[in-house]
């Protein structure tokens, strides 16, 4: 009898150890056992600029624990969401036979084709593509069929800003181009700064003898880069006094073309430009255009490097500025569940504190003082994002030789 009890005890002990090993090996990274927790998988076609946020382990944990969602974010360029069928096979995922069919020159694959892997939502990185996606496709331009957008809207925001350095900003303050209020620097006469660039004024003309060449603001190329296009849309709005119409756009396009030509070499990605700004300092990049989120992301991911430069860095907020808005379009009930989840307060706090994304119309209620550099609590002086047709006209004009 004693031996039987001993054997039973050993068996129970082995089973317990086996259960612990099973749970450890077969649970996901957040400690959720897929056998005990049923997750709904949501597929999202996703524009760039927010990959790190969407892959954040705590964001994933909240989506899984609180909303029971397992989200698959597939990377798409904004333009391809219009021209290609919005299915996983278009980016080389899903059904292999559909992928093979798509490689044929005259394929007829669409979102209605049997066997395709459909999406539950689209998460663009530019509002103009969100607005445009809700319209019927223009078949004459080769645009693909679209899902019906059931719900959606602005989800993550970050404003266009200009990064500069203390000595440059001091000179711009003396020129009455920049104004400091409550520790935040605003470009209150953007027209004057634009004219300085168009007139070919040099840095030494505003007292910066250590800087060579003409006054310039480096940006990504508006022809090939979404951030660059957003910036040039802001310039067009400012030149048009926030009322862009057929008359003033035709009047101001030549000025923007001249501005574009005077800008010289342009990076294709904002990450490359921001890195160059940090590494080459005031002598290499006196002023660059980027998103506000870049500095907050940098401060969080590289605190030691940020501490070395934060006393010399200045963030300039054009008045008005323009939002870069990441918009969420819902196609299915599962997409609607994710849209609701992304508006969670905990997720919103992570989006701001770690990655610099604001939520809400004026930027939400965040503790901006913790960053240790001049950032406004709210942003209210903005212009409306331009429509797709206006951007296309602007970009086509800039591309003309």
Q: Give tens-digit pLDDT for 310-364.
A: 999 999 999 999 999 999 999 999 999 999 999 999 999 999 989 999 985 444 5
Which tens digit of pLDDT belongs to each residue from 155-193? 999 999 999 999 999 999 999 999 999 999 999 999 999
pLDDT score of 243? 84
Question: pTM for the complete prediction?
Answer: 0.86
- Inter-CA distances, 62 with 27, 54, 227, 338, 365, Å: 16, 11, 30, 11, 21
Give the pairing type, strands 288-291 and 151-165: antiparallel
pLDDT of residue 363: 45
Question: Pick the residue with more confidence: 377 or 34?
Answer: 377
Distance between CA atoms of 211 and 208, rounded to whole angstroms? 6
Residue 207 has pLDDT above 80, yes or no: yes
CATH match for 159-324+373-399 among 3.40.640.10, 3.40.190.10, 3.40.1360.10, 3.40.50.300? 3.40.190.10
CA distance 134 to 143: 13
pLDDT attached to residue 400: 86
Greatest CA separation found in the chain?
101
d(CA 147, CA 112): 9
Angle between helices 388-399 and 226-239 in degrees, nearest 10: 100
3 state DSSP class of 143: coil
Distance CA 160, CA 323 (A): 6
Interior/surface letters 142-168, b for 16+ CB within 10 angstroms, e for the rest: ebbebbebeebebbbbbbbbbbbbebb
pLDDT at 16: 65
Query: Which pLDDT belongs to residue 8?
Result: 62
Per the prediction, the chain carries an average pLDDT of 90
Q: Please report, in angstroms and rounded to a whole number, the separation of the first and last CA atoms in the chain.
A: 96
Task: Tally DSSP H helices, then E strands, for the chain.
Answer: 16, 10
Instruction: Round to whole Å and give the CA distance between 228 and 268.
Output: 9
Residue 326, phi then psi, degrees to nearest 5: -90, 115
In three-state secondary structure terms, 258 is helix
pLDDT over 70 for what percent of the chain?
Answer: 89
Of the candidate ranges 12-26, 115-129, 131-145, 284-298, the one whose mean pLDDT is the lowest: 12-26
Across residues 291-301, what is the average pLDDT? 93
> Contact, 219 vs 262, CB < 8 A?
no
- Residue 292's Cβ-count burial label (10 Å; 0-12, 13-18, 19+) is buried
Work out the pLDDT band at 270, boundaries 50, 70, 90: confident
In this prediction, residue 370 has a pLDDT band, given cuts at 50, 70 and 90, of confident
pLDDT at 247: 83
Strands 121-123 and 40-46: parallel
Instruction: Provide the residue ranges of all domains of the chain, joining segments of one domain with +.
Output: 1-30, 159-324+373-399
- Across 94-102, average pLDDT: 96
Residue 254 pLDDT exceeds 80: yes
DSSP for 376-391 reads -S----EEPPPPHHHH
Residue 155, φ and ψ in degrees, nearest 5: -125, -45
pLDDT digits (tens, 9 = 90+) for 99-108: 999 999 889 9
Report, as an integer, the average pLDDT of 367-392: 86
Question: Encoding tokens for residue 365?
Answer: 């209620």
- 352 or 18, greater pLDDT: 352
Positive or negative, the CA dihedral 63, 68, 72, 77 is negative
pLDDT in tens, 111-157: 999 999 999 999 999 999 999 999 999 999 999 999 999 999 999 99
CA distances from 298 to 161, 305, 307 (A): 15, 8, 11
> What does the block give as tokens for 140?
């004459």
Helix-strand-coil split of the chain, %, nearest 5: 45, 15, 35
State how far the Cα of 232 lies from the Cα of 350, in Å rounded to an integer: 30
Return the CA Rg of the chain. Answer: 25
Question: For the stretch 294-330, what's the b/e string if a residue is b when 16 or more beta carbons lie within 10 angstroms of its beta carbon?
Answer: bbbbbbeeeeeebeeeeeebbbbbbbbbbbbbbbbbb
Peptide bond into 320 cis (omega under 30): yes
pLDDT tens per residue across span 223-250: 988 889 999 999 999 999 888 888 889 9
Please enumerate, as own/partner, the contacts of 283-286 that have beta carbons within 8 Å and a separation of 24 or more.
Answer: 283/210, 283/211, 285/218, 286/164, 286/165, 286/168, 286/203, 286/208, 286/211, 286/216
For residue 28, pLDDT over 70 is answered with no
* 8 A C-beta contact, residue 173 and residue 114: no
Least confident of 207-221, 229-243, 264-278, 336-350: 264-278
pLDDT at residue 367, rounded to an integer: 72
Q: Is the pLDDT of residue 36 over 50?
A: no
Q: What percent of the chain has pLDDT over 90?
A: 76
pLDDT of residue 378: 86
| For residues 195-200, average pLDDT | 95
Report the distance separating Cα 382 and Cα 126, nearest Å: 16
Give CA–CA dist 75/234, Å, rounded. Answer: 27
């Amino acid at each position: 009898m004693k031996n039987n009890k001993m054997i039973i005890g050993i068996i129970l002990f082995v089973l317990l150890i086996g259960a612990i090993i099973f749970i450890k090996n077969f649970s996901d990274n957040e400690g959720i056992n897929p056998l005990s927790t049923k997750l709904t998988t949501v597929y999202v076609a996703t524009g760039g600029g927010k990959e790190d946020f969407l892959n954040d382990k705590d964001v994933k944990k909240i989506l899984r624990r609180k909303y029971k969602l397992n989200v698959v974010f597939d990377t798409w360029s904004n333009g391809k969401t219009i021209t290609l069928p919005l299915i996983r096979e278009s980016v080389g995922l899903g059904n292999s036979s559909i992928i093979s069919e798509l490689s044929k020159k005259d394929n007829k694959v669409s979102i209605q084709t049997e066997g395709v892997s459909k999406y539950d939502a689209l998460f663009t990185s530019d509002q103009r593509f969100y607005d445009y996606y809700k319209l019927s496709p223009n078949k004459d331009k080769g645009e693909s069929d679209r899902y019906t957008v059931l719900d959606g809207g602005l989800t993550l925001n970050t404003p266009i800003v200009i990064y500069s350095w203390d000595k440059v900003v001091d000179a711009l303050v003396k020129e009455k181009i920049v104004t400091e209020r409550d520790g935040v620097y605003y470009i209150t006469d953007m027209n004057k700064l634009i004219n300085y660039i168009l007139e070919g004024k040099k840095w030494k003309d505003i007292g910066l003898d250590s800087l060579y060449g003409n006054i310039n603001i480096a940006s990504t190329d508006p022809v090939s880069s979404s951030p660059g296009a957003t910036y040039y849309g802001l310039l067009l709005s400012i030149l048009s006094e926030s009322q862009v119409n057929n008359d003033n756009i035709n009047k101001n396009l030549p000025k923007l073309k001249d501005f574009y030509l005077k800008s010289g070499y342009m990076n294709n990605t904002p990450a490359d430009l921001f890195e160059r700004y940090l590494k080459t300092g005031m002598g290499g990049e006196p002023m660059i255009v980027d998103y506000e989120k870049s500095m907050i992301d940098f401060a969080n991911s590289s605190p030691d490097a940020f501490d070395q430069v934060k006393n010399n860095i200045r963030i300039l907020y054009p008045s008005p500025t323009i939002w870069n808005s990441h918009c969420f379009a819902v196609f299915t009930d599962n997409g609607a569940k994710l849209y609701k989840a992304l508006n969670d307060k905990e997720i919103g706090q992570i989006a701001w504190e770690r990655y610099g994304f604001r939520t809400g119309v004026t930027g939400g209620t965040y503790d901006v003082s913790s960053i240790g550099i001049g950032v406004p609590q709210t942003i209210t002086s903005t212009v409306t994002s331009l429509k797709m047709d206006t951007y296309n006209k602007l970009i086509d004009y800039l591309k003309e030789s």
